Amino acid sequence: MNLITGVGMRLIARLPGVLGVMLGASLLVSATLRMVPGDPVTLILGEQATESDRARLEDRLGLNRSFGEQYLKFLGDVISGELQSYRSEQTVFKAIAVALPQTLILSILALLLSASLGLSLGIAAALHRGTWIDAGALFFASIGLATPRIWLGPMLLLIFAVQFDLFPVGGNEGWLSLVLPVLSLGTAMAAMLARMTRSSLLEVLGMDYIRTARAKGLSERVVVGRHALRNALIPVITILGLQLGSLLAGAVVTEKIFNWPGIGTLLLKAIQTMDFPMVQGCILMIAGVYVLTNLMVDIIYELTDPRMRT
């Protein structure tokens, strides 16, 4: 009960900071969008539109107001849930509610793949240091980190979708459509986790309390599983938590390559059409998920490392 109470108090204490980050992100995006060259009214009505038509649309969209007025209206629409897209009859949050689950499915599967593969390789490399297993894990990590996602995605499509016709070329046509984007999104993170896990576990295995545990006659399985691995995974948890937010942002490129109908595709389309409310809503949602992920990491810290509770 004390642990739950302590975690709850820390979350409450961090709420002002969370709100501040969200407010800062929304303000930065809103200000940046107003500096983008181009005119949403021209994109919507075309260059042949009359001045009266342009004036009416600018008034309806609120583009003829000052930046401060537009930002306050944006905040009010976010709070009320009535943030309206320039290009669609539905609200921004309804569009995000359709796209976000697709991105979450892609990101969570990529996270599971990278965690299972990266942790397994890292642990195996640390326990078999200097062997071919260690060399193979380090080689995979080096290749994974050095391969750009923007190159890997098209190569996976070209080989496995076009050349061998094993998977759909793009879009959401069932679970087979997830295989290639998940591989593309999760490979680099798996490589990073493998290196981090190996390095952290090797450091812990060299500590005095591990030697003491072995001297007491404990089996290697108990020494590694109960004493070494739990402490070695603390920095890895940080990487995992932060990477979930990064996966959401990185999914923008992957979704574009594989034509996946997620929030990344929605965001890119909104940028191309200068749909400012949609861009603001997507960025705010991604920032929110990132901040919530950091809070989840803090909770896991509390549960994993008793020292963090003090």
Residues 285 and 260 in one domain: yes
pLDDT for res 237? 76
Tell me which of 57, 80, 103 is where a domain ends. 80
| Number of domain units in the chain | 2
Residues 296 and 176 in one domain: yes
- The answer to whether position 9 is within a domain reads no
CATH, residue 302: 1.10.3720.10
Residues 106 and 49 in one domain: no
Residues 48 and 182 in one domain: no
pLDDT for res 132? 93
CB count within 10 Å of CB 299 equals 15
Residues 51 and 132 in one domain: no
- Walking along the chain (310 residues) 10 residues at a time, the average pLDDT comes out as 62 75 85 81 79 84 85 88 84 89 88 89 89 91 84 89 84 85 87 89 83 78 78 78 69 84 87 88 84 74 60
Q: Which helix (H) or strand (E) holds 201?
A: helix 176-205
Nearest to 194 by CA among 247, 125, 259: 125
pLDDT for res 47? 77
Residues 58 and 98 in one domain: no
- The answer to whether position 294 is within a domain reads yes
pLDDT for res 257? 86
- The answer to whether position 213 is within a domain reads yes
Tell me which of 22, 53, 80 is where a domain ends. 80
pLDDT for res 1? 53
Residues 197 and 264 in one domain: yes
pLDDT for res 310? 54
Residues 62 and 99 in one domain: no
pLDDT for res 141? 87
pLDDT for res 89? 79
- The answer to whether position 112 is within a domain reads yes
- The answer to whether position 2 is within a domain reads no
pLDDT for res 135? 92
Residues 50 and 98 in one domain: no
Residues 159 and 238 in one domain: yes
Residues 209 and 189 in one domain: yes
Between CA 56 and CA 173 the distance in angstroms is 42
Between CA 34 and CA 86 the distance in angstroms is 15
Residues 60 and 167 in one domain: no
Judged by DSSP in three states, 131 sits in coil
The answer to whether the CB of 111 falls within 8 A of the CB of 240 is: yes
- The answer to whether position 85 is within a domain reads no
Tell me which of 49, 80, 111 is where a domain ends. 80
Per-residue CA distances from 67 to 13, 34, 35, 73 (Å):
32, 8, 11, 10
Q: Which domain holds residue 36?
A: 14-80
- The answer to whether position 117 is within a domain reads yes
Query: ∠15-21-22 over CA atoms, to 5°?
Result: 90
pTM of the model: 0.81
- The answer to whether position 28 is within a domain reads yes
